[in-house]
Amino acid sequence: MAERKSPVRNTEKCSVVGCSNPVERSVAREAAEEGGLDIDEGCKRAHLCKDHYREWKRVTKKEREIGSLGH
Ligand SMILES: [Zn+2]
């Protein structure tokens, strides 16, 4: 939806280990790791490509739903 501007430069690569796609979004490193993403060491923030951002959003959303159901 609100994808007009990217907060990071396109020259950067995705922070997920093994991924070198251009960055689409950046999120807190801890948040990304909570979503099951393997973030490159030394990155304070997780810069995610489009695919990983989508994946991360899906996972974190799911976890939140599960968590609210009596954890
Ligand atoms: Zn990626």
* Dist. CA 60 → ligand 1 center (Å): 16
Q: How far is CA 56 from CA 11, 26, 30, 70, in A?
A: 21, 11, 12, 22
Per-residue pLDDT 10s for the chain (71 aa) are: 555 665 555 578 999 999 999 999 999 999 999 999 999 998 889 999 999 999 999 998 877 676 665 55
Q: Identity (one letter) of the amino acid at 48?
A: L
Q: What is the pTM of this model?
A: 0.71
> How many C-beta atoms surround the C-beta of residue 35 within 10 A?
22
* Dist. CA 70 → ligand 1 center (Å): 32
